[in-house]
Amino acid sequence: MIRKLLKDKVALVSMTIIFITVLLGIFAPVVAPNDPMETRIIQKYASPDREFPLGTDHLGRCQLSRLLHGIRPTIFLSLLTTVCTITLGGLVGMIAGYSKGWLDEIIMRAVDVMLSFPSQVMVLAVVGMLGVGMRNVVIATIAIKWAWYARMIRSCVKRHTHQNYVNYAKAVGASQSFIIINHLIPAVLSEIVMLASLDMGWVMISISTLSFLGLGIQPPAPEWGAMLSEAKNALMTHPTQMLGPGIALVLVVSSFNMLGDSLRDALDPKEG
């Protein structure tokens, strides 16, 4: 799989963009030229120069500094949400896939109920009940998306449960926990990574959308969706305000989606 990815130029470009973006987010306090929260009303909507490479916003804050500091909530919170969702959905899917009878039936009926509602509408409903704030956005996203992972991972586990190496482990008396930890989890791990990379883009869009609507990260904290929300008020007079966060969001989300496509092709046995 790794050899296929190294030969895939799209995958290499996507991984490079993601890696550089994550590094910029980690070292944002060092790389950012200014304090992202400092306001300079006299210098509002300033043109790009050496002090403000991307200009300033309606409060005179450095756009580049806010863009760099916005990487952390946009990408890192999306990563945290994805990891928590995979953990919950993977555990439920593993139990449903390995078990038989009534337990599998109950779990899958609950999954069907969760998947019967549009994801974004359900997230908005949960955030509306819990209240605005990034913590509630993360909780709402995990509460809605786990069912999707549970169904996908259950299918993967069902497919591997009847393989010869699993049947041999059962025949020699291996415990169920041993089979799950040493055989089933490694077997589905690569597919989980592929699903996660495809879903990261959706989670980023979801978090940014809620921040754009005022339900996620609250001003004046820098976040790409919140920056787009502030920029929309000056769309007719200063349309360039939307370029920075808009291009950044499209670029990173597209990179995760293309990386997910490359991982799917690399894992396809027909391509081998």
CB 25 within 8 A of CB 68: yes
Arithmetic mean of pLDDT, 189-195: 79
β-bridge mates for residue 56, sequence order: 62
The reply to whether 117 falls in a domain is yes
pLDDT-derived band at 1, boundaries 50, 70, 90: low
Query: Does any domain span residue 65?
Result: no
Indicate the pTM of the whole model.
0.84
46 sits in the region (left: phi over 0; alpha: psi -120 to 50; else beta) called beta
Residue 18: pLDDT band with limits 50, 70, 90: very high
Q: Over the stretch 211-262, which tens digit does the pLDDT of each residue have?
A: 888 888 888 889 999 999 999 888 888 888 999 999 999 999 999 988 888 8
Residue among 93, 94, 98 at smallest CA distance from 161:
98
Share of the chain above pLDDT 90, in %: 23
Nearest to 155 by CA among 126, 188, 121, 122: 188
Number of domains in the chain: 1
Cα distances (Å, whole numbers) of residue 191 to 21, 25, 108, 265, 267: 24, 27, 20, 11, 8
The CATH number of residue 191's host domain is: 1.10.3720.10
Q: From CA 80, how far away is CA 218, in angstroms rounded?
A: 19
pLDDT confidence band for 71 (50 / 70 / 90): very high
- Cis amide linkage into residue 186, ω under 30° from 0: no
Work out the burial of residue 180: count CB atoms within 10 Å of its CB; fewer than 13 is exposed, 13-18 middle, 19 or more buried. middle
Average pLDDT, the chain: 85
- Residue 179 included in any domain: yes
Q: Which long-range contacts (CB under 8 A, 24 or more apart) does 76-81 make?
A: 76/25, 77/134, 77/138, 77/207, 78/200, 78/203, 78/204, 78/207, 79/200, 80/138, 81/138, 81/141, 81/142, 81/145, 81/203, 81/207
Domain that holds residue 247: 2-31+70-271
**pLDDT tens, residue by residue, 30-65:** 999 999 999 988 999 999 998 999 999 989 999 999
Residue where the block lists tokens 């959905």: 89
Residue 18 covered by a domain:
yes
C-alpha distances in Å from residue 178, one per residue of 26, 70, 153, 182: 38, 43, 18, 6
> In this predicted model, what pLDDT tens digit does every residue of 151-165 receive, in sequence order?
888 888 888 777 787
Distance between CA atoms of 220 and 10, rounded to whole angstroms? Answer: 36
Q: Determine contact, residues 22/75, Cβ cutoff 8 Å.
A: yes
Domain-embedded: residue 16: yes
Domain presence at residue 96: yes
Give a yes or no: residue 27 inside a domain. yes
Domain assignment present for residue 38? The answer is no
